[in-house]
């Protein structure tokens, strides 16, 4: 709502009904339902798992973008993904027991 005054609505005039169908599908299915499932599952998940899931989302988006449409991530993005996955593994790893 805050960015609404800055939107250029002229870019939407040439979209076909198929384009609008994909936009609605992305908004409802890939965003709405997934966010509902994620926030509904928060009660059953531990804090480390929740933090890992929150931070892995951008890295998975870049990975899927690379696999599906051939996006070439920058070096900084690759380093960021490696750091995210490394931090996730570190967070979810069982601590070593000191005897």
Rounded to an integer, what distance in angstroms lies between the CA atom of residue 20 and that of residue 14?
A: 11
Residue 61 is given by DSSP the state: H
pTM above 0.95, yes or no: no
Rounded to an integer, what distance in angstroms lies between the CA atom of residue 65 and that of residue 30?
A: 14
Q: Where are the domains of the chain?
A: 15-44, 45-93
CA angle 91, 94, 98 (to 5 degrees): 120
User: pLDDT tens across 47-80, in order?
Assistant: 888 877 787 777 788 888 888 888 888 999 889 8
Rounded to an integer, what distance in angstroms lies between the CA atom of residue 86 and that of residue 88?
A: 5
User: pLDDT tens across 14-53, in order?
Assistant: 999 999 998 888 888 878 888 888 888 888 988 888 877 7
Contact criterion met (CB below 8 Å) for 31 and 61? no
User: pLDDT tens across 3-16, in order?
Assistant: 889 988 888 889 99
């Amino acid at each position: 709502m805050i960015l609404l005054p800055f939107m250029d609505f002229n870019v939407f005039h040439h979209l076909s009904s198929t384009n609008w169908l994909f936009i609605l599908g992305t908004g409802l299915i890939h965003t709405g339902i997934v966010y509902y499932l994620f926030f509904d599952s928060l009660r059953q998940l531990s804090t480390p798992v929740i933090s890992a899931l929150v931070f892995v989302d951008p890295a998975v988006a870049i990975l899927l973008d690379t696999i599906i449409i051939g996006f070439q991530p920058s070096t900084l993005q690759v380093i960021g993904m490696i750091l995210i996955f490394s931090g996730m593994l570190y967070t979810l790893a069982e601590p070593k027991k000191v005897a």
